[in-house]
């Protein structure tokens, strides 16, 4: 099969890495890709939002399946355009992708279909947001309605932080039209977990449980980001709770979307919090998480290609996916200034040495090739991932390899996994074995 992957980040690198292992694959293309992806795929110089040009390319080359990585092309209707031309594609239509592209729609959908979530108010201006925040108390959650690259959520803990957040939403217009409406939610206490499934519109194939770390700083400090690390298993999800999530969240979501004429073929990602009253949905995504996908691809035993092809056709060929018993972890290496204005263009050293660490796989995210060197070209630059017999081993390998990679503005969280493996520790820094230190 000839396959085209849309996107150019760490998630898409992991997808290409996995697809390249399929015996059914004949040719692999990625648009626009990155230097790491170039090891497995032919790069196509088209941006992920150039929908008509991408459809032209798929038609001219005779692509048998297109796989969409990021949320923006889904929100813009890339699946609708490909289907109009009868080009096979795995991903939700524009109407179905609204479950991610509009926080207002997703919250109202949950309310209408009895899916457990936090109480919320939709605010159209600053005054409405202030009244809702006063009702729910502090801390309180504010979410931009539209897409914001994972950065449109703020959690003020007091009046000063609330006013600063509202300045960004309504006065400075940090998120543009995405914040024309703001969802104000009650704050929920509990452990967070990512529950991700593939859907053919009727059935769900769950991935292994995963946990990501959204805040920029250690001890969950600082602003929200696209994700600074992840690991699988999650360390917090019991089998009984997973069964509850499938029955009370995933199934009614897929059924409800179909009933509303928004059949969801693609990825359904439920970001959940495990409260004393049971699991509740914090948000939906309509694509694989990043960096969750990187950790999950390392554990997936099945051939991904035929699964995605059958899902695109609306009929999965298997009833469940198989995952390796070993654990996986992903540590994101970012550039100083992320998530607002990251430093770019700095040469990266140590990639080859890090890749030689046992169990380590490195996925490129925001990199570029310049004059024979790999340089930083985004906020999240590299994903250093590893497997191990235990989660602790996987994390130590990932952190050990991370120490071997360097550029002047490199930053990272040093506490990925600490919350589930060493929750009593006051330090966010993991100790790395001496034989892995740079």
pLDDT digits (tens, 9 = 90+) for 139-177: 999 999 998 877 789 999 999 999 999 999 998 888 898
Tell me which residue has tokens 């009244």. Answer: 131
Per CATH, the number for 119-186 is 3.30.1490.20
Q: What is the DSSP string of 336-359?
A: TTTTTS----PBPB-HHHHHTSTT
Nearest to 366 by CA among 417, 299, 291: 291
How far apart are the C-alpha atoms of 244 and 206, rounded to whole Å?
A: 13
Q: What angle do CA 408, 403, 421 make, to 5 degrees?
A: 130
pLDDT single digits (tens) 96-118: 999 999 999 999 999 999 999 99
What are the residues facing 193 on neighbouring strands?
A: 272
State how beta strands 65-68 and 2-7 pair. Answer: parallel
Options 3.40.605.10, 2.40.50.140, 3.20.20.10, 3.30.470.20; CATH of 189-312: 3.30.470.20
Q: What is the DSSP string of 196-236?
A: EEEEESS-EEEPPPBEE--EEEGGGEEEE-S-SEEEES-SS
Instruction: Answer yes or no: are the C-beta atoms of 56 and 78 closer than 8 Å.
Output: no
CA 113 and chain centroid, separation: 25
Q: How many residues does the chain have?
A: 438
Domain segments of the chain: what residues?
Answer: 2-93, 119-186, 189-312, 327-436
Q: Is CATH 3.40.50.20 correct for 2-93?
A: yes
End-to-end alpha carbon distance in the chain: 42
Region 14-30: mean pLDDT is: 98
82-91, 143-152, 247-256: lowest mean pLDDT where? 143-152
pLDDT at 419: 84
5-14, 55-64, 232-241, 425-434: lowest mean pLDDT where? 425-434
How far apart are the C-alpha atoms of 378 and 370, rounded to whole Å?
A: 14
Q: Which residues, at least 6 apart from 321, have a Cβ–Cβ distance to it below 8 Å? A: 198, 205, 206, 207, 300, 301, 302, 307
Q: Is the pLDDT of residue 130 over 50?
A: yes
pLDDT single digits (tens) 370-393: 999 999 999 999 999 999 999 999
pLDDT at 435: 36
Tell me which residue has tokens 């092309």. Answer: 73
Instruction: Answer yes or no: are the C-beta atoms of 311 and 320 closer than 8 Å.
Output: no
pLDDT single digits (tens) 51-85: 999 999 999 999 999 999 999 999 999 999 999 99
Q: Is the pLDDT of residue 431 over 60?
A: no
Q: Which residues, at least 6 apart from 60, have a Cβ–Cβ distance to it below 8 Å? A: none
- Record the pTM: 0.93
Q: Which residues, at least 6 apart from 61, have a Cβ–Cβ distance to it below 8 Å? A: 2, 4, 29
- Tokens representing 214 are 């959204």
pLDDT at 424: 60
pLDDT at 422: 78
Per CATH, the number for 327-436 is 3.90.600.10
How far apart are the C-alpha atoms of 256 and 241, rounded to whole Å?
A: 21
pLDDT single digits (tens) 281-311: 999 999 999 999 999 999 999 999 999 999 9
Q: Is the pLDDT of residue 432 over 60?
A: no
Q: Is the pLDDT of residue 231 over 60?
A: yes
Share of the chain above pLDDT 90, in %: 89
pLDDT at 436: 32
Q: What angle do CA 147, 150, 156 make, to 5 degrees?
A: 105
pLDDT band at 203 (very low <50, low <70, confident <90, very high): very high
Tell me which residue has tokens 């297109």. Answer: 66
- Name the E strands within 97-151: 120-123, 140-144
Instruction: Answer yes or no: are the C-beta atoms of 303 and 21 closer than 8 Å.
Output: yes
Element (H, E) at 380: strand 380-388
How far apart are the C-alpha atoms of 144 and 148, rounded to whole Å?
A: 7
pLDDT single digits (tens) 312-353: 999 999 899 999 999 999 999 999 999 999 999 999 999 999
Q: Is the pLDDT of residue 430 over 50?
A: no
Mean pLDDT for all residues in the chain: 94
pLDDT band at 425 (very low <50, low <70, confident <90, very high): low
Q: Which residues, at least 6 apart from 380, have a Cβ–Cβ distance to it below 8 Å? A: 9, 10, 225, 226, 227, 228, 291, 332, 333, 334, 338, 365, 366
Share of the chain above pLDDT 70, in %: 96
Q: Is the pLDDT of residue 31 over 80?
A: yes
Q: What is the sign, positive or negative, of the torsion defined by CA atoms of 74, 75, 79, 82? A: negative
């Amino acid at each position: 099969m000839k396959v085209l992957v849309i996107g150019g980040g760490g998630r898409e690198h992991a997808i290409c890495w996995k697809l390249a292992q399929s015996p059914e694959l004949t040719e692999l293309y990625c648009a626009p890709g990155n230097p790491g992806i170039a090891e497995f795929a032919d790069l196509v110089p088209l941006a992920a939002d150039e929908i008509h040009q991408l459809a032209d390319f798929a038609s001219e080359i005779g692509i048998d399946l297109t796989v969409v990585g990021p949320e923006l092309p889904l929100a813009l209707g890339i699946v609708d355009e490909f289907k109009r031309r009868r080009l096979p594609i795995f991903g939700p239509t524009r109407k179905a992708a609204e479950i991610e592209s509009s926080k207002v729609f997703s919250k109202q959908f949950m309310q209408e279909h009895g899916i457990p979530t936090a109480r919320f108010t939709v605010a159209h201006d600053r005054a409405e947001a202030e009244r809702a925040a006063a009702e729910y108390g502090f801390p309180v959650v504010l979410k931009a309605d539209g897409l914001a690259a994972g950065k449109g959520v703020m959690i003020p803990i007091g009046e000063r932080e609330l006013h600063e957040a509202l300045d960004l939403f309504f006065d400075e217009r940090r998120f543009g039209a995405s914040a024309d409406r703001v969802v104000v939610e009650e704050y929920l206490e509990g452990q967070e977990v990512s529950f991700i499934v593939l859907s053919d519109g009727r059935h769900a194939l769950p991935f292994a449980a995963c946990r990501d770390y959204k805040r920029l700083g250690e001890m969950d400090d600082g602003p929200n980001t696209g994700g600074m690390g992840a690991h699988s298993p999650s360390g917090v999800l019991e089998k009984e709770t997973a069964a509850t999530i499938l029955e009370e969240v995933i199934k009614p979501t897929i059924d409800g979307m179909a009933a509303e004429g928004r059949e969801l073929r693609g990825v359904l990602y439920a970001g959940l919090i495990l409260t004393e009253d049971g699991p509740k949905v914090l948000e939906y995504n309509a694509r694989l998480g990043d960096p969750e996908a990187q950790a999950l691809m390392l554990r997936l035993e099945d051939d991904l290609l035929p699964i995605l092809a059958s899902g695109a056709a609306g009929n999965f060929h298997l009833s469940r996916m198989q995952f390796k018993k070993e654990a996986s972890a992903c540590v994101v290496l970012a550039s100083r200034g992320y998530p607002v204005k990251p430093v770019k263009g700095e040469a990266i050293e140590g990639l080859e040495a890090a890749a030689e660490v046992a169990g380590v796989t490195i996925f490129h995210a925001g990199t570029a090739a310049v004059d024979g060197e790999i340089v930083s070209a985004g906020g999240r630059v590299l994903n250093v991932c590893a497997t191990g017999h235990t989660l602790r081993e996987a994390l130590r390998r990932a952190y050990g390899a991370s120490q071997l990679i360097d550029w002047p503005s490199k930053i990272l969280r040093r506490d990925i996994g600490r919350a589930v493996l060493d929750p009593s520790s006051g330090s966010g820094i993991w100790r790395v074995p001496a034989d892995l230190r740079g």
